[in-house]
Chains A and B, each alone.
Chain A
Amino acid sequence: MGLITLKNVSKSFDDVEVIPPLDLEIRDGEFVVFVGPSGCGKSTLLRLIAGLEDITSGRVEIDGVDVTEVPPARRRLAMVFQSYALYPHMSVRKNIAFPLRMAKLDKAEQSRRVESAAHVLNLTEYLDRRPGQLSGGQRQRVAIGRAIVREPEAFLFDEPLSNLDAALRVNMRLEISELHQSLKTTMIYVTHDQVEAMTMADKIVVLQAGVIEQVGSPLELYHNPRNLFVASFIGSPKMNFLRGDEADRHGAHTIGIRPEHIRISANEGEWKGTVGVSEHLGADTFFHVRCEELGATLTVRADGDNPLQYGDSVLLAPELAKLQRFDADGLRIT
């Protein structure tokens, strides 16, 4: 079981409150992603769950048991660090076996589990190497191997892919998702990359300045963001925001429309604009369109083979049903 509950948990460093009191429930088997800009407290929150930081007030429960005072070694959680944090003086085999050695499993069982983890992670031929002799992706896999061998209640990932190059990151993302499907163990994953959050999570927790802005499934956050911050943070490219007259017309302080909900053409639409920079991704093209009347530059998604050029005059047609309205406090009007 891996049911993790935070009750009224807060954290202060000296006099600075980095996480005001918050509540959160992570259900057994869920893949939860903490996402937010750097410094939003997502890593701190993870470390509070791990027990690597003491909480200032409130309590942390695992499977209903209060573990607030339990040291990290006895919380039966496994963690994968951004820096991999492998033991440089041990071989890969010993690195992976370390948690089992700490749990005092017998030697035969230790090597059986290490072999099977190595097999799953394609590390079999590297077992006798030192971490220093491995590539970044291999090191990351060793770190994951070290986490899975002991069959923990939950996995904690602290930005595990940030040190990998883009191609490898996509691969590892899939491998971790695959792992979650096969193990069905609770996973808590911290990242500043909303694409990782959207692609991997069952449930996303969006944080800003230590405050939970919204909790929900990726599509809930995409379709029904609670406020401006979530709306702008989730989705790539970012949602377009308009204020002033156009917003007033829709009875809002700010309106938001995603790039994929605007149609661009030469002759049809209500907003006039001029094509600026365009980004061709192959399947899609993103146009940055300058609209003088609205006083804004909007990002618009179009087909990959759309022939519009820099400087072309165009018309934009927003899908009004997908328009999102926000009040003066940034909250979405429903």
Chain B
Amino acid sequence: MARAVPARRKMLTTILGWGVGLTIFFPILWTFLTGFKTEAEAIASPPSFLLFDWTLSAYDAVNQRTDYLKHFWNSVVISFGSTGLGLLIAVPAAWAMAFVPAKRTKDILMWMLSTKMLPPVGVLIPIYLIFRDAGLLDTRLGLVIVLTLINLPIIVWMLFTYFREIPVDILEAARMDGAELRSEILFVLVPMAVPGIASTLLLNVILAWNEAFWTLNLTAAKAAPLTAFIASFSSPEGLFYAKLSAASTMAIAPILIVGWFSQKQLVRGLTFGAVK
């Protein structure tokens, strides 16, 4: 329940909150601003904050050199594809763990999570070789598969947490009403878990969109998503901060907008089940 908070403390926590928020947001703001500078201004010392000649030249240069839409589309396919495939596998898995737990269910959940503790680079060589032999290098399908596997533990865990909140009586009622497993999951469990499934979907689209290790290492040109698009501005001919910033802004803008509009859903999703 709400407690009375002294006005002074309220002010202090408000200031602290804004301070932390702005500190976290500052690099993104700086990237955004730098994208509108010329290359010379981008590395000027001392740097100018808002008072510079705003120009779109960096964006022009980026668009001339690369095909933004191709990378954007690759990102969409890879992030939504891997999340969709992940959900398809995770919903039945989480159903089993939440409603028909066995003695070792907890261990399996921990084991799945433990795979996230392994540094990805540790399995880079084997996965690279498997992908090469299977002809999956630089394909969107390959990235969908690898990102599905990477994020599957998180998807299963999140769904498991939501499903546990659903009274098993209702699923049993469906069984008594003649629903086979498929109908039970499709017509009863999933509609009831929509909020949880939606936030799982959102979070995983964001994770997949931002995933840079595998997308950079397993693609060259054809299937390269926006992460590779940003990276292509970072090395070969020295650093061009304005172009790099313009590219970064273009890459993160879509997901930032999606995230902004769905933040309520996301926060609810991430704290779901914490309080009854």
Contacts and interface: CB of A to CB of B under 8 A. Distances in A.
B172 A73 contact: no
Contact of B172 (A78, A85, A99, A102): A85
B173 interface: yes
Interface residues of A, number: 24
A73 B167 contact: no
B177 A98 contact: yes
A102 B188 CA distance: 12
Given A83-B169, A102-B183, A52 B175 contact: yes
Contacts of B188: 87
Given A78-B176, A86-B170, 19 more contacts: A51-B175, A52-B175, A52-B176, A72-B175, A73-B175, A73-B177, A77-B176, A78-B177, A79-B176, A81-B172, A87-B170, A89-B191, A98-B187, A102-B178, A102-B179, A102-B183, A146-B177, A150-B178, A156-B176
Contact of B167 (A83, A99, A156): A83
B175 A98 contact: no
Interface string A81-119: 101011111000000001100110000000000000000
22 contacts: A52-B175, A71-B180, A72-B176, A73-B175, A77-B176, A78-B176, A79-B172, A79-B176, A81-B169, A85-B170, A85-B173, A86-B170, A87-B170, A87-B188, A87-B192, A88-B170, A89-B191, A89-B192, A98-B174, A98-B179, A99-B178, A150-B178
A200 interface: no
Interface residues of B, number: 18
**B-side binding surface: helix, strand, loop or mixed?**
helix
Interface of A: 50-52, 71-74, 77-79, 81, 83, 85-89, 98-99, 102-103, 146, 150, 156
A102 B176 CA distance: 10
B177 A81 contact: no
A71 B173 contact: no
A156 B177 CA distance: 12
A79 B173 contact: yes
A103 B178 contact: yes
B173 A81 contact: yes
A87 to B, nearest CB: 6
A291 to B, nearest CB: 48
Contacts of A79: 172-173, 176
Contacts of B177: 73, 78, 98-99, 102, 146, 150
